[in-house]
A and B are shown apart, each in its own frame.
Chain A
Amino acid sequence: MADQRETDHATGVETTGHSWDGIKELDNPLPRWWLWVWYGTIAFAIVYWILMPAWPGLHGYTKGLLHKSDRAEVTKELKALDIKRGEGAAQLRTASLEQIEKDPKLNAYAQQVGQSVFGDNCATCHGIGGTGGKGYPNLRDDVWLWGGKLEDIQYTITHGVRTGVEGARMSQMPAFGRDELLKPDQIDDLTEYVVHLSKRPADAAAVARAQPLFEAQCSACHGLDGKGNQQVGAPNLTDSDWLYGADRASIRGQIFAGNGGVMPTWGGRLSPETIKALAVYVHSNAGGQ
C-alpha cells in the first residue's frame, strides 16, 4: 500500500487503497450513531461483568453483585407452581367424585388435569382418544368390564388389573384349549354358542350341543344368559362389543387361550387427586354411567 492515500474525485473521500476489478472502496468513517451504540455496548458489558455472573474461574465463577442465578429462579418458580397447583389439588382431595363432576369449575379443572394425565400415561394402550384397540378396552363406549361408575373407574385406575398387587382387579379365564380342558370340537361348539349369544346366525346343532358345556364351564363368570359379571371382569357376550375380536376365529382363539390383559397399578405412581381427576375425565368422556 502506498504511503499517500488516493482521494476519490467524485466524492472527495479517501479510498482504502483496496481495488477489486477497478472498483475502489471509499474510506468513509463509521456512522456516528453506530459508533455510539458500540461504545454503549462496551459500557454495558463492563456494568454487566460487575452485576451479573460473568467470569469462569478454576473453582466456580464470579457471582456478580446481583447474585442472579437461573437455577435458584427455576427452583422458586417450581415451588410457586406447586403452591398454585396445591389449590386445585386440595379441592380435588376434599370433594367427592360426584361433586367434582357436578361442579362446573372443578369439573373443567379435572378435565384439564385428566386429559394431560391420560395422554401421558393411558394413551399408550387405550389410544389418545381412549378408544382402545384389540385387547385394550375402549373407554369411550358404554361397555365396562369392571364397572363404569365413577368409583369403579377410580378403583380400577388406583389398583390396576391383574398386576399381582394386593387389591388389584383379578380374574383369569381358563385357557380351555391350550391347557386341554376341552376338546377341539367342544371349543368349536362353544364358539358357535357364543356367536349365537350375540344374536348372530349360528349352527343350531352345535349350539344345542354346547349349551350344557357353557352352563358347566362358562356360566360361573359370564352368567347363564351370557351377560357377564363386572365383579369378576367377565365380559357381556350378548352385545356387539368384543375386546379380542368379533369373528369366529377370534372367539375360538379366546376360548382356546383365555387371554387377560394387564393394566398397571397407578396408585403410588399418580397422586390420589390426579387419579380422581382422571376418573372424572374417563367417566364423562364415556357418557357417564
Chain B
Amino acid sequence: MVRVIDNTRPRSDARTAVSAAARAKGKGEANGHLYKPRQPIYPKLVHGKWRAIKWALLIAALAVYYVTPWIRWHRPEGFPQQAALVDFTGRRFYFFDIQLWPQEVYIFTGLLVMAALALFLVTALFGRLWCGYACPQTVWTDLYIVVERLFEGDRNARMRLDAAPLSFNKIWRKTGKHLVWLAIAFGTGGAWIFYFHDAPTLIRTFWTGDAPMTAYVSCLLLTCTTYIFAGWMREQVCTYMCPWPRIQGAMLDDHSLQVTYLAYRGETRGPHKKGQSWEGRGDCIDCNQCVVACPMGIDIRDGSQLECINCGLCVDACDEMMVKVGRPTGLIAYDSEEAVCARTKGEKAVYKPIRSRTVYYALAMSVVGGLTLWSLIDRPKADLGVIRDRNPIFVRMHDGAVRDGYTLKIANRTYVQQRYDVSFEGVQGARLSQPGTVGEHVSIVVPPDQVVPVRVFVTAPKDAELEPSVPARFVIRAGDIRAEAKTVFLSGAANPQ
C-alpha cells in the first residue's frame, strides 16, 4: 500500500493527547472552528499534452451526455423510437437493440460490478485517472472554469477581481458568469430528464407545463447540484464528500503510475537565473507553476496526496517551464514509486503493469463481464411463472378425480404477438383445462411485450394413485420459443375421502 498524505487531518506530529475542544481551538487555521475555512483556488490555464487530452475527453463526455437521448432507433409501432430510454411508467429499459424488464436488473448489477472492477484496475495501473479525466465532477468543474475564465480572465485577473471593491465591472462579470453557470446547470438537468421520456415530446411538453412532475423535480435537482457542485464546491466535493480518495489507498501500490514529483531530480530546489550553472542543485526552479495550475490547490512536490486527482495539469505546467529554462521535461510525470526509488538509487527503473493485483482485477472483470454478456445474449424471449392455488390446495370432483388450480404468468418479451401452447408434464393421465373454455388444448395469446395471467386447472383421475405431492412442470411453446416452470401437483392422497 502506498502512503497518501491526508491534508484533511491534522498531521501525525500534531496528534497528542488533548481534548477535542482544545484541538479544535488549537487548529490555528480553523480559527477555533471545527472546520477549516476553504482557501479559494484559482487554477491557472496550462497548455500541453495532458491538457489537450482533457479537453478532448471533456468534449467527448459532454457530447455523449447531450446527444445520446436524441438518437432515434427503429422499433415496431407502439414502442419508443428512442435508442436509450429508461421508461419508468412502462417499466422497460431500452438501449438500442437491448430491451430489459425490471426483473432483469441483475444485468445492471453486472455492469456496475464491472464498472467498479474497471475503476480498481485503472487505479491500480495508472492511479486516479477516472477522477482526473472522466468523473462528471471534474468534467463539469473544468467547463465551469472555462466560463469563469471567459468572464473574469485567468488566475491573476480573477484574484485581482475578487480582491477589488464592488464596481460595475465586477458586478457584470460576476453576474454574467453565474448566469452562464446556471444555464449550463439547467442544460445538465434538462438533458438528464430526456433519458427517461421521449426527448422530442418532452422538450415540447416541458415548456407547456404538461411534462410529468418528476421531470421538473429531477431537472431542478440536477440544476441545483450542478451549479453548487461545479460552481461553488468544486474540489471540496472530491476531498470531503467523495469516498474514492479514501478508498484509493487500498488500490494503489508502489507500481501504480501516479503524478509524481521526481524529488531526486528536482531537489535542491531554488530560483534560477538565466546563465547560472545547474551544478549542485536540482532542476526545480521553485516557480510555483505546478501549484497555481492545480485545480485541487495542492503542492504535488509534497508527495502523493489524498486530494490529488491525477489530472496531470501540473505535469503540463512544469514541462512548459522546463522547456523555457532548457532542462529536460518530466520533472513532474506519471511515474511509479518503485521506479522513482530505483532511479534515486541510480538503478534501472522497472515498470510492472502485470502483477497479481492487476491480474486479479482483470480476471474478475472478465468473469463478471462474461457472465453479464452471456445472460444478455441468452435472455429468454418468453418467461413463465407459476403460482399454485393455496386455498383450496386441491378440489375433489364428483367422480373422485382431483383438480389443482394454478395461475400462470406468461411474459412475452418479443415485439410481436405470440400464441403459446401450454402443456403440463409430470402427472400420468392429468388433464389440463382452462376455466370457461371447453377442450383439452390450452393456448394463450399474449400481446407483444406484455405479461398475461392465466388461470388453468389440472385434473388427475381418481385411479391415478399418485403420491401426495408430485413434482411437475408447465411448459409453454411458440415456434422455437420455449419456457418452463417447475411446480407440484397435490393429489390429496394424504387426505383420503
A101 CA / B389 CA spacing, docked (Å): 20
Report whether A140 and B398 are in contact in the complex, using a CB–CB cutoff of 8 Å.
no
Report whether A104 and B452 are in contact in the complex, using a CB–CB cutoff of 8 Å.
yes
Q: Which residues of A contact B25 (CB under 8 A)?
A: 11-12
Report whether A101 and B497 are in contact in the complex, using a CB–CB cutoff of 8 Å.
no
Q: Which residues of A contact B392 (CB under 8 A)?
A: 129-131, 140
Q: Which residues of A contact B399 (CB under 8 A)?
A: 239-240
Known: A11-B21, A246-B497, A287-B457. A142 touches B436 (CB 8 A): no
Partner of A240, one of B21, B396, B436, B455: B396
Q: Which residues of A contact B405 (CB under 8 A)?
A: 140, 285
Known: A128-B391, A129-B392, A240-B497. A141 touches B398 (CB 8 A): yes
- Distance in Å from the Cβ of B202 to the closest Cβ of chain A? 28
Report whether B398 and A287 are in contact in the complex, using a CB–CB cutoff of 8 Å.
no
Q: Which residues of B contact A142 (CB under 8 A)?
A: 397-398
The interface bits of chain B over 243-283 (1 if a CB of A lies within 8 angstroms of the residue's CB, else 0) are: 00000000000000000000000000000000000000000
Report whether A240 and B395 are in contact in the complex, using a CB–CB cutoff of 8 Å.
no
Report whether B396 and A288 are in contact in the complex, using a CB–CB cutoff of 8 Å.
no
A143 CA / B398 CA spacing, docked (Å): 6
Q: Which residues of A contact B437 (CB under 8 A)?
A: 288
Q: Answer yes or no: A10 CB below 8 A from chain B CBs.
A: yes
- Distance in Å from the Cβ of B175 to the closest Cβ of chain A? 27
A68 CA / B395 CA spacing, docked (Å): 54
- Distance in Å from the Cβ of B434 to the closest Cβ of chain A? 8
Q: Answer yes or no: A254 CB below 8 A from chain B CBs.
A: no
Q: Answer yes or no: A85 CB below 8 A from chain B CBs.
A: no
Q: Answer yes or no: A265 CB below 8 A from chain B CBs.
A: no
Report whether A283 and B391 are in contact in the complex, using a CB–CB cutoff of 8 Å.
no
Q: Answer yes or no: B19 CB below 8 A from chain A CBs.
A: yes
Report whether A129 and B391 are in contact in the complex, using a CB–CB cutoff of 8 Å.
yes
Q: Which residues of A contact B400 (CB under 8 A)?
A: 240
A133-178 contacts to B, CB under 8 A, are: 138, 140-143
A288 CA / B21 CA spacing, docked (Å): 80
A288 CA / B389 CA spacing, docked (Å): 16
Give the nearest-CB partner of B400 in chain A: A240
Report whether A284 and B435 are in contact in the complex, using a CB–CB cutoff of 8 Å.
yes
Q: Which residues of A contact B403 (CB under 8 A)?
A: 141, 287
Q: Which residues of B contact A239 (CB under 8 A)?
A: 398-399
B348-379 contacts to A, CB under 8 A, are: none
Q: Which residues of B contact A288 (CB under 8 A)?
A: 435-437
Partner of B436, one of A138, A141, A241, A284: A284
- Distance in Å from the Cβ of B29 to the closest Cβ of chain A? 18
A284 CA / B434 CA spacing, docked (Å): 9
The interface bits of chain A over 238-278 (1 if a CB of B lies within 8 angstroms of the residue's CB, else 0) are: 01110000100000000000000000000000000000000
Report whether A241 and B391 are in contact in the complex, using a CB–CB cutoff of 8 Å.
no
- Distance in Å from the Cβ of B34 to the closest Cβ of chain A? 12
Report whether A141 and B397 are in contact in the complex, using a CB–CB cutoff of 8 Å.
yes
Give the nearest-CB partner of A26 in chain B: B21
Give the nearest-CB partner of B398 in chain A: A239
- Distance in Å from the Cβ of B459 to the closest Cβ of chain A? 8
A91 CA / B3 CA spacing, docked (Å): 74
Report whether A241 and B433 are in contact in the complex, using a CB–CB cutoff of 8 Å.
no
Report whether A10 and B436 are in contact in the complex, using a CB–CB cutoff of 8 Å.
no
A283 CA / B436 CA spacing, docked (Å): 8
Q: Which residues of A contact B391 (CB under 8 A)?
A: 127-129, 131
A128 CA / B390 CA spacing, docked (Å): 11
Give the nearest-CB partner of A140 in chain B: B395
Question: Main secondary structure on chain A at its contact with chain B?
Answer: loop
Q: What is the number of residues of chain A that contact chain B, defined by CB distance less than 8 Å?
A: 29
- Distance in Å from the Cβ of B174 to the closest Cβ of chain A? 26
A240 CA / B497 CA spacing, docked (Å): 9
The interface bits of chain B over 34-52 (1 if a CB of A lies within 8 angstroms of the residue's CB, else 0) are: 0000000000000000000
Q: Answer yes or no: B241 CB below 8 A from chain A CBs.
A: no
Q: Which residues of A contact B435 (CB under 8 A)?
A: 283-288
Q: Answer yes or no: A191 CB below 8 A from chain B CBs.
A: no
Report whether A10 and B395 are in contact in the complex, using a CB–CB cutoff of 8 Å.
no
Report whether A241 and B398 are in contact in the complex, using a CB–CB cutoff of 8 Å.
yes
Q: Which residues of A contact B396 (CB under 8 A)?
A: 141, 240-241
Q: Which residues of B contact A138 (CB under 8 A)?
A: 395
Known: A140-B392, A240-B497. A284 touches B455 (CB 8 A): yes
- Distance in Å from the Cβ of B22 to the closest Cβ of chain A? 6
Give the nearest-CB partner of B391 in chain A: A129
A128 CA / B497 CA spacing, docked (Å): 21
Q: Answer yes or no: A102 CB below 8 A from chain B CBs.
A: yes
A129 CA / B497 CA spacing, docked (Å): 19
The interface bits of chain A over 120-131 (1 if a CB of B lies within 8 angstroms of the residue's CB, else 0) are: 000000011111
The interface bits of chain B over 391-427 (1 if a CB of A lies within 8 angstroms of the residue's CB, else 0) are: 1100111111001010000000000000000000000
A229 CA / B435 CA spacing, docked (Å): 24
A12 CA / B395 CA spacing, docked (Å): 83
Give the nearest-CB partner of A98 in chain B: B436
Q: Which residues of B contact A107 (CB under 8 A)?
A: 436
Give the nearest-CB partner of B24 in chain A: A11
Q: Which residues of A contact B452 (CB under 8 A)?
A: 104
- Distance in Å from the Cβ of A93 to the closest Cβ of chain B? 20
- Distance in Å from the Cβ of A57 to the closest Cβ of chain B? 37
- Distance in Å from the Cβ of B301 to the closest Cβ of chain A? 38
Give the nearest-CB partner of A108 in chain B: B453
A239 CA / B89 CA spacing, docked (Å): 53
A241 CA / B398 CA spacing, docked (Å): 6
Report whether B398 and A240 are in contact in the complex, using a CB–CB cutoff of 8 Å.
yes
Q: Which residues of B contact A11 (CB under 8 A)?
A: 21, 25
Partner of A287, one of B19, B433, B453: B433
Q: Which residues of B contact A246 (CB under 8 A)?
A: 497
A-B contact pairs, 30 of them (CB 8 A): A10-B21, A11-B21, A12-B25, A102-B436, A107-B436, A108-B453, A127-B391, A128-B391, A129-B392, A130-B392, A140-B392, A140-B395, A141-B395, A141-B398, A141-B403, A142-B397, A143-B398, A236-B398, A239-B399, A240-B396, A240-B398, A240-B399, A241-B398, A283-B435, A284-B436, A285-B435, A285-B455, A287-B433, A287-B457, A288-B436
Q: A108-B453, A239-B398, A284-B436 are in contact. List 16 more A-B contacts (CB 8 A).
A: A10-B22, A131-B391, A131-B392, A131-B395, A140-B392, A141-B396, A141-B397, A141-B398, A143-B397, A143-B398, A285-B405, A285-B455, A286-B435, A287-B403, A288-B435, A288-B437
9 closest A-B pairs by CB: A129-B391, A284-B435, A239-B398, A288-B436, A140-B395, A288-B435, A131-B392, A101-B436, A129-B392
* Chain B residues engaging chain A, CB cutoff 8 angstroms: 19, 21-22, 25, 389, 391-392, 395-400, 403, 405, 433, 435-437, 452-453, 455, 457, 497
